[in-house]
Structure 1
């Protein structure tokens, strides 16, 4: 409604300023009080988690680990390990090691883990079970690990001998054990995610670092899986049926696994004493670069088989070459983004890189075997080498086996753009490198470079050194410009490749085809879609049709979120299959489906799917067959109608095509004036504008003054059953400046009377976003939740800009019945992205000026 409808208060400026300041202070105090209440409730709900965090903090201060690594005295007295627990007889150390952090770095993560991860476990299985599972699994994981160390050392096993004197202080042993036990109490979606991601991280540390703490965590986690299953079964909480993962969930878990595997080699680099099975692979990425002059001097005196390798490594000195070395790991991390979105190209790239890393693992094993001087048993060397080869190979084979989940291909134009970009970048950089090298060919060592030598050295400039080793006879430029070009040509190319790949991952093809709009209209006229179903015909929507063609869904894809506009457009009996079919369609395209503005009748379907549900507003409904303007509740509307008639207002029920040109110009002028006065971005999505008025099936109800000038306009969207209009939903409302007070009440009441005469069953005043229907007499409000508090906050925040609450109060004048409209979504972790996508749907094109105006309005 126009800002001209809001009367001025006449309050002096100084009083307004004082009132505004007091109001802001009051709101700030209320928000702080609400935050305090929420924080207290949160702490009370997880006493074990916060209690453990407090104990860890206090003991870190008392033992000195809050400011530095544990001292020798603290280790010998409180740390767990074969030396202290078994040899020294300190039986309490498996327990004390669970509540003392090793150093400040671990202290921070231990406190966060206690509050976060253990807090999740506490919410899933209760405080008492969380406490004793933390203690039992932490102690058991440590004792079993120490026992395995003792057995391994007795038989001469390399790892056990190496870590025989290691000591452990680590609260995470108990935390991960409790978390994995609690996963048995979670819903299938969360259970899979907790287990796959947690075990993936633990295995990464075991394979790439491999100290006793990592092994104790793994043992506690495995015991936690078993104990959790036993507990859940005993309490009747374990589901016996197998829950198949969707395409989207499988992609999410595989992408997480690949991301974890990409981080693994960095663990070996950070930990110089790493002894995990894959630590050799990490050492390849951090191989020390020898001094080139020293290598050339020594090899000039006596050239051995090792000289080629040392010269090759020495020629890779420099920051650019170091960056190039980590390209495989960066490729895996970026490819994981594509895997998460079901991209076939990301699948192929990941498989290729994993096979390449398997080859590197084999070379690393051979190199380690050549220079091993420890006299280690051959079977252990073979085991370590096999792990470096088998793990990346196994991940590649796993992706091949799961390739059916990755069928999303970019449009042909996007693929062509990617190929052209990568090819063009490669050619330009290659020509530039060769040209610079040829000009400065005399500066190369060990001898001037010819064209053949420069060409043979090209792979070394674009491929990481770990893929090439000592292959070929490398040349080494000494001129500054040449060194810079040869060092950075590879990183620049791969940077272009990665950016082009991200752009390729973001490309989507059109899903709407010619004739789909006509099909949607035909289905709407048969019934389905609800009171707001006609919004499906608006520009910007894509359409999904069921295989039998009897039902459809209108949606928009924003940032990977497929948002529907209303109820499914389907006969009553087909609603369930339509929702499931659209969800499977989104899953196949790696979109997160969100049904927006759906009504209560479909909530059981979403409950079966284990989807989350939240209210996003209230639809206000009137019923023309029983519409009467009698009684006190209708006094204000009745007065507005009578005043309009007395002032000579008339109404016109028409369509855009039937309007004379002069009336079209008046409507355009009123709308433009309204937009100009707002100075705020005009909202879209489920809120129509001028373009939506022009549809020949949309009805217009106009209020015309006695002088023939337009006073106000409303537009009405039809809803059908068996080809007949059975309802109208208001969409567009505008009033002219200087129009009669109460003209909108007059116009809506007149429309209701018209609909009663024409046999219309329902009149919808549309949805009121972020609104809550009033309570019935004697009805108590439901307990507040985090989501309801968030919705209340958004409603209060956006009220100064868009007046949702004011609009809701205006509609209440018509004594409507209320029907809650909901948003349902499959993935609770995606709620922040969903919120952003919905916001972008409503405000798709915000100019800088409008953004500033919006912020200024909200800040008031």
Structure 2
């Protein structure tokens, strides 16, 4: 083991501990099938073996338990190595080219049993993780086996298959294998993963040029494919003049820029995979077109390779193995991209999202302009030195007609006629780089096109959502759905709606869905299906307890994101010691001549509007930090004619404080109000806000209001009843507590929660529900951007400074 850390194993070590046909079959060292599972070959394998043991075996142990993990680890490892050696031995006896070529290879690879154990553990996972892990693991295993093809990669693949079978037997499920249906979003994830794996496969073979993989030739399309002067001299000394001319022409196209251009198909496939994950139609056709282009490239390139064989060569001398190998290589470079193109075409209905018309026009103009500018600059530069071009006698017309080839893969250019090569200088730099420059422009423009979403409110949507809210539904936070920035989904019947906004592919809802009691399940599921069809991650934010059974039924995750504080005006009695502070503020306000005014923004006089604007601007200007939005209203939101205002006026009739109250309707009657906007003048008396909220509660009692909500307190936790034990902490609760403590110096969420506790409220937890735990980082970023959509660099620095004090 120590020797393998500092240097590759010696010959004696390999013969004693490594597994392969020569050690197991020829030497009879049967124990190497076992020892090869625990000894790494080199430092690289040692590091990866330790990391894989900690991460992958940790996952497998959690799913299988320690005892079953050890058994599965040994069985899959022994099957992987043992069956692999047996297959190689039989294949080499039969003259099969891969087995014969690798029969002398030896391996020591702890990753083999680790892979087998991980695959076996997926049998007891849920459908989502089982499908994802199997696809990624087997995709990588098959990719390495086909594109690299050394002994270890094949042994790992056999161990993975063994783990699949063993896991199925251990799971206790029905022996009948069933095909699990996938949502649109999951199909997109799986298809995108396949495209990524197929795209990077040739790159893997390029990094290991000595591999024995059947698909290894595909790596020849990338990198420095240009022959050197020595290669040309050696080839031209024996080959025909036609072959020599082809190679010489190809060498003239060399340079850093053309080498970069060989990786364009890889970049386009990765871009297509990213767009496929988002369900975009443009990504579908980009993926199909790129794979078809690779097929054309393969035919041309293989034709070029074939042309290197001299005409007088006796092909019968190549032997059946070499011909079979060439057929496999040639077929792989065509069959794989063809299969991916067919897969994309068959699944095209899953990728129906089109970009807005404006985004398509912007993309087309950008690409066309980029092509035109680059072509014009090169043509002008080339025209000045046209007399120095090779071959001699090149004309400007020929230069212009040659332009399209500057943007094509160089393997095609090299066999489509004489290459027009400029002399050293500006023209040569442009000759080598206008192709890569164009594809960079194309890639950036395509990325922007794939990001473009149609996010607009249809005519009449605002009226429809208000009508539904007046009927009932949406909860105490429902009126926030009318705020700017939200777009609306309505169910087919038109009697339910969800307000949401899409940020970075996450559809964040605001408040409970606006629906009648008893329809929650259908509304949540229909909206989730709508998001799935648009390749968005649905996140129900600020929803109440009555929706949790629906999310549990859907096997979603949910967590608390705050506590809503509620008062009940019809039973409100401000008596007892608990109300002493509030009563003191009320009495002091009365003594100082303060009065209140229940009104709306439209009913305010101009002086009052000016005072409210001044108070709000003074409050904002005092803070270095950005004003938050999303579920926290600002000055614009109080202008809604349905939103009530409660003003505190001092003895001189000036506004000392202002609050806004969002209505909650039932059958057209306001039965509840939710506190939103709160601002207090600097010179107002201490306790003014307590005076104002208490006065509002008493006024609502007179109006017959049933529920008064002081709104939610983000990241807050309701106090536990006396004698109650705190629930066991989880990763999410610990994260929430950390965020609450971190953000407290900046935004005072805890202080706000304690202020509201003065009014002796009851508590109602508000939750966030989401389908995929892996998406939590993306969800967190989207919610942060929703709350702080316009944070400037200066405000970001201020926020960080505040947090680290």
TM range (shorter): over 0.9
Q: Distance in 2 between matches of 1:577 and 1:693?
A: 33
Q: How big is the shift at 1:338?
A: 0.9
Task: Identify the residue that residue 294 of structure 2 maps to in structure 1.
Answer: 357
Q: How big is the shift at 1:847?
A: 2.3
Q: How big is the shift at 1:68?
A: 2.9
2:281 pairs with 1:340: no
Q: Provide closer, same or farther for how the CA distance between residues 229 and 467 of structure 1 changes in structure 2, counting only shifts above 3 A.
A: farther
Q: How big is the shift at 1:552?
A: 0.7
Following superposition of structure 1 onto structure 2, how do residues 186-205 of structure 1 map, counting pairs within 5 Å? 186-205=125-144
2:541 pairs with 1:622: no
2:119 pairs with 1:180: yes
Q: Provide closer, same or farther for how the CA distance between residues 741 and 333 of structure 1 changes in structure 2, counting only shifts above 3 A.
A: same
Q: Provide closer, same or farther for how the CA distance between residues 555 and 783 of structure 1 changes in structure 2, counting only shifts above 3 A.
A: same
2:202 pairs with 1:265: yes
Q: Distance in 2 between matches of 1:526 and 1:776?
A: 36
Q: Distance in 1 between matches of 2:472 and 2:176?
A: 39
Following superposition of structure 1 onto structure 2, how do residues 322-721 of structure 1 map, counting pairs within 5 Å? 322-363=259-300, 371=309, 374-377=318-321, 378-721=323-666
Task: Identify the residue that residue 250 of structure 1 maps to in structure 2.
Answer: 187
Task: Identify the residue that residue 19 of structure 2 maps to in structure 1.
Answer: 80
Q: Deviations over 1:431-478 (max 9, x none)?
A: 222222232222223423123532453343111123445222223333
CA contact 2:479–2:662 (8 Å) conserved in 1: yes
Q: Distance in 2 between matches of 1:345 and 1:649?
A: 64
SS of aligned partner of 1:179? helix
Q: Distance in 1 between matches of 2:207 and 2:719?
A: 60
Given candidates 60, 75, 94, the residue that maps to 2:33 is: 94
2:710 pairs with 1:771: no
Q: Distance in 2 between matches of 1:312 and 1:259?
A: 33
SS of aligned partner of 1:445? coil
Q: How big is the shift at 1:315?
A: 1.9
SS of aligned partner of 2:709? strand
SS of aligned partner of 1:572? coil
Task: Identify the residue that residue 80 of structure 2 maps to in structure 1.
Answer: 141
SS of aligned partner of 1:477? coil
Q: Provide closer, same or farther for how the CA distance between residues 294 and 383 of structure 1 changes in structure 2, counting only shifts above 3 A.
A: closer
Q: Distance in 2 between matches of 1:313 and 1:353?
A: 23
Q: Distance in 1 between matches of 2:299 and 2:124?
A: 42
Q: How big is the shift at 1:320?
A: 0.5
Q: Deviations over 1:682-740 (max 9, x none)?
A: 10100001111111100111111222222211110001111111110000111122322
Q: Provide closer, same or farther for how the CA distance between residues 515 and 108 of structure 1 changes in structure 2, counting only shifts above 3 A.
A: same
Q: Distance in 1 between matches of 2:677 and 2:593?
A: 24
Residues 750-759 or 281-290, more deviating: 281-290
Q: How big is the shift at 1:106?
A: 2.3
Q: Provide closer, same or farther for how the CA distance between residues 383 and 292 of structure 1 changes in structure 2, counting only shifts above 3 A.
A: closer
2:103 pairs with 1:159: no
Q: TM-score normalized by structure 1?
A: 0.89
Q: Distance in 1 between matches of 2:68 and 2:469?
A: 54
Q: Distance in 2 between matches of 1:857 and 1:420?
A: 45
SS of aligned partner of 1:587? helix
SS of aligned partner of 2:541? strand
Given candidates 58, 66, 88, the residue that maps to 1:119 is: 58
Q: How big is the shift at 1:656?
A: 0.9
Task: Identify the residue that residue 850 of structure 1 maps to in structure 2.
Answer: 795
CA contact 1:280–1:361 (8 Å) conserved in 2: no
Q: Distance in 1 between matches of 2:177 and 2:596?
A: 64
Q: Provide closer, same or farther for how the CA distance between residues 504 and 559 of structure 1 changes in structure 2, counting only shifts above 3 A.
A: same
Residues 306-315 or 652-661, more deviating: 306-315
SS of aligned partner of 1:678? coil
CA contact 1:292–1:315 (8 Å) conserved in 2: no
SS of aligned partner of 2:319? coil
Q: Provide closer, same or farther for how the CA distance between residues 848 and 593 of structure 1 changes in structure 2, counting only shifts above 3 A.
A: same
Q: How big is the shift at 1:644?
A: 2.1
Given candidates 162, 177, 180, the residue that maps to 1:223 is: 162
Q: Distance in 2 between matches of 1:453 and 1:71?
A: 61
CA contact 2:625–2:795 (8 Å) conserved in 1: yes
Residues 504-513 or 285-294, more deviating: 285-294
Aligned-residue CA RMSD (Å): 2.1
Q: Distance in 2 between matches of 1:106 and 1:300?
A: 44
Q: Distance in 1 between matches of 2:83 and 2:231?
A: 50
Q: Deviations over 1:216-271 (max 9, x none)?
A: 1111111111111111126x9x9987542111111111111111111111111111
CA contact 1:525–1:719 (8 Å) conserved in 2: yes
Q: Distance in 2 between matches of 1:671 and 1:704?
A: 16
Q: Provide closer, same or farther for how the CA distance between residues 758 and 342 of structure 1 changes in structure 2, counting only shifts above 3 A.
A: same
Q: Provide closer, same or farther for how the CA distance between residues 711 and 593 of structure 1 changes in structure 2, counting only shifts above 3 A.
A: same
Q: How big is the shift at 1:390?
A: 1.2
Q: Provide closer, same or farther for how the CA distance between residues 725 and 800 of structure 1 changes in structure 2, counting only shifts above 3 A.
A: same
Which stretches in structure 1 are left out of the alignment for 5+ residues?
1-58
CA contact 1:653–1:700 (8 Å) conserved in 2: yes
Q: How big is the shift at 1:429?
A: 1.3
CA contact 1:365–1:384 (8 Å) conserved in 2: no
Q: How big is the shift at 1:664?
A: 1.6
Q: Distance in 1 between matches of 2:361 and 2:115?
A: 47
Q: Distance in 2 between matches of 1:699 and 1:754?
A: 12
Q: Provide closer, same or farther for how the CA distance between residues 411 and 268 of structure 1 changes in structure 2, counting only shifts above 3 A.
A: same
SS of aligned partner of 2:684? coil
Q: Distance in 1 between matches of 2:404 and 2:617?
A: 62
CA contact 1:80–1:94 (8 Å) conserved in 2: yes
Q: TM-score normalized by structure 2?
A: 0.95
Q: Distance in 1 between matches of 2:69 and 2:266?
A: 37
Task: Identify the residue that residue 766 of structure 2 maps to in structure 1.
Answer: 821
CA contact 1:410–1:509 (8 Å) conserved in 2: yes
Residues 478-487 or 683-692, more deviating: 478-487
Q: Distance in 1 between matches of 2:92 and 2:334?
A: 26
Following superposition of structure 1 onto structure 2, how do residues 308-319 of structure 1 map, counting pairs within 5 Å? 308-319=245-256
SS of aligned partner of 1:727? strand
Which stretches in structure 2 are left out of the alignment for 5+ residues?
310-314
SS of aligned partner of 2:40? coil
Q: Distance in 2 between matches of 1:523 and 1:499?
A: 43
Residues 762-771 or 349-358, more deviating: 349-358
Q: Provide closer, same or farther for how the CA distance between residues 494 and 329 of structure 1 changes in structure 2, counting only shifts above 3 A.
A: same
Q: Deviations over 1:43-98 (max 9, x none)?
A: xxxxxxxxxxxxxxxx3xx2x22233233232222211111222222222222222
Q: Distance in 2 between matches of 1:848 and 1:278?
A: 49
Following superposition of structure 1 onto structure 2, how do residues 62-77 of structure 1 map, counting pairs within 5 Å? 62=2, 64-77=3-16
Q: Distance in 1 between matches of 2:249 and 2:795?
A: 58
